[in-house]
Amino acid sequence: MEKFTKLTGIAAPMPLVNIDTDMIIPKVFLKTIKRSGLGVNLFDEMRYDRQGNEIPDFVLNKPQYRETKILIAGDNFGCGSSREHAPWAIADFGIRCVISTSFADIFYNNCFKNGILPIVLPQEDVDKLMDDAERGANAVVTVDLENQTIQGPDGGTINFDVDPFKKHCLLNGLDDIGLTMEKAASIDAFEAEASQARPWV
């Protein structure tokens, strides 16, 4: 998993509330078990019309937001079913941070396991960042995970909280497999000892 230390990029405003995982990645795209290739279908039903043409008014179709790395979202982001394809699609599109006033628990935890930093902020801070994001190509925001700060286009700083263990995992690029491999030496030692004690196993 790619490490997350400091991220600087365009922030896109998406003030809709209750964006569920089916809106993030519709069920028709859940046939794959690969983490790559889903970015093109992110927010598919909002991004494209029935003929597959881009809807120009959708935020991520606008030229200034095509390289978005940070999403400023409405309340209760990621609700609905627990599909892990939702963070896969977000990450594959290139978004590494989502900021909202609240997230659905399963989606929130899945983000950390896929290299995405979900940040919960008070409404007034989200409103400020949403306003900053409306600047289009000038909506450059820096998220510093180590110092737990967000710096807006005007240089103002917002502090955020994050679970220390989840922070450690992101800073070091550790998903569940990576965490297990940190204990590889202990696992090997246990297996060697067990093999000697029970050679018939």
- pLDDT tens across 33-86, in order? 877 899 999 999 999 999 999 999 999 999 999 999 999 999 999 999 888 999
Using DSSP, state whether 10 is helix, strand or coil: strand
Using an 8 Å Cβ cutoff, are 30 and 80 in contact?
Answer: no
> Does residue 189 lie in a domain region?
no
> Does residue 82 lie in a domain region?
yes
> Does residue 11 lie in a domain region?
yes
How much is the pLDDT for 32?
Answer: 82
Token reading at 149: 């700060």
How much is the pLDDT for 183?
Answer: 63
In tens, the pLDDT along 76-108 reads 999 998 889 999 999 999 999 999 999 999 999
Domain that residue 34 falls in: 6-173
> Does residue 105 lie in a domain region?
yes
> Does residue 184 lie in a domain region?
no
Does position 129 have pLDDT exceeding 80, yes or no? yes
Return the percentage of the chain with pLDDT > 90, whole number. 76
Does position 201 have pLDDT exceeding 70, yes or no? no
Does position 179 have pLDDT exceeding 70, yes or no? no
How much is the pLDDT for 177?
Answer: 67
* CATH number reported for the structural domain that contains residue 35 in this entry: 3.20.19.10
Least confident of 37-41, 84-88, 138-142, 194-198: 194-198
Label residue 197 by pLDDT band (50, 70, 90).
confident
Q: What is the pTM of this model?
A: 0.88
CA–CA dist 100, 135 (Å, integer) = 18
How much is the pLDDT for 184?
Answer: 63
What's the one-letter identity of residue 163? Answer: D
Average pLDDT over residues 194-199: 76
DSSP 74: -
Which residues lie across from 70 on neighbouring strands?
11, 97
Using an 8 Å Cβ cutoff, are 72 and 129 in contact?
Answer: yes
**How many domains in the chain?**
1
